[in-house]
Amino acid sequence: MGIERRIEFAAPPVLDWPRLVEQLAARGRVPAVKMIDGLPAFPGEVPPADWQELRLGFAAGMVTVRRSGPDLVCLVWGTADGELTAAQAALAEALAEQAGGRFPDRAG
């Protein structure tokens, strides 16, 4: 079982990876790309624009980001502690902020 946060977009988002890393660093969460589409990533590797699944390492653990149609889903294991779910939330917020996404579970 996983805990997921879905971010809805009108069209598939185009992400500026260096800017996303800066946004997360400003929130005290620096990600390291560990896997891109099921393959190990090189240190400092920037995901290509057409990625489908990323595994991002944070100090607290791993967050998976998957494309689902135009939307993005941030996923952690159901046993994730507060620090890992906080990293997941920071990532979801940064993704939504950067590409104009919205959270379906929020009013407005």
Q: Contact at 8 Å (CB) between 86 and 5?
A: no
Q: Report the pLDDT value the prediction gives residue 106, as an integer from 0 to 100.
A: 64
**Residue 90 corresponds to which tokens in the numbers above?**
């920071």
Residue-wise pLDDT for 39-74, tens only, equals: 999 989 999 999 999 999 999 999 999 999 999 999
Q: Please give the mean pLDDT across all residues of the chain.
A: 93
Provide the residue ranges of all domains of the chain, joining segments of one domain with +.
2-99
Which residue type occupies 17? W
User: DSSP characters for 18-79?
Assistant: HHHHHHHHHTT---EEEEETTEEPPTTPPPPTT-SEEEEEETTEEEEEEEETTEEEEEEETT
Write down the CATH number for the domain with range 2-99: 3.30.310
Q: Could you tell me the pTM of the whole model? A: 0.92
The angle at the Cα of 30, spanning 24 to 33, to the nearest 5 degrees, equals 110
